[in-house]
Amino acid sequence: MTTTTPDLTAVRAKHRALWASGDYPTVAADLIPDLGATLVEAAGVAAGQRVLDVGAGTGNAAIPAALTGADVVASDLTPELLAEGERIAAARGAQLQWVEADAHALPFETGEFDTVLSCVGVMFAPFHERAAGELLRVCRPGGTIGLLNWTPEGFVGRLFATMKPFAPAPPPGASPGPLWGREEHVRTLLGDGVRDLRAQRRTTTFAVADGPEAFREWWKRHYGPTISVYRGLDADRAAELDAAFLQMLEETRSDGAWQAEFLLVTAVRT
Domain ranges of the chain: 8-205+260-269
Residue 16's identity, in one-letter code, is R
pLDDT at 5: 47
Q: How confident is the model at residue 6 (pLDDT cuts 50, 70, 90)?
A: low
pLDDT surpassing 80 at residue 115: yes
What is the rounded average pLDDT for all residues in the chain?
96
The residue-averaged pLDDT of 221-238 equals 98
- Say what the pLDDT of residue 2 is: 45
Q: What is the 3-state secondary structure (H, E, C) of the chain?
A: CCCCCCCHHHHHHHHHHHHHCCCHHHHHHHHCCCHHHHHHHHCCCCCCCEEEEECCCCCCCHHHHHHCCCEEEEEECCHHHHHHHHHHHHHHCCCCEEEECECCECCCCCCCEEEEEEECCHHHCCCHHHHHHHHHHHEEEEEEEEEEEECCCCHHHHHHHHHHHHCCCCCCCCCCHHHHHCHHHHHHHHHHHEEEEEEEEEEEEECCCCCHHHHHHHHHHHCHHHHHHHHCCCHHHHHHHHHHHHHHHHHHEECCEEEEEEEEEEEEEC
42-68 pLDDT per residue, tens: 999 999 999 999 999 999 999 999 999
Specify the pLDDT at position 102. Answer: 97
Q: Give me the pLDDT at residue 1, please.
A: 43
CATH superfamily of 8-205+260-269: Vaccinia Virus protein VP39 (3.40.50.150)
pLDDT at 185 over 80: yes
| 246-269 pLDDT per residue, tens | 999 999 999 999 999 999 999 999
Express each pLDDT in 167-180 by its tens digit. 999 999 999 999 99
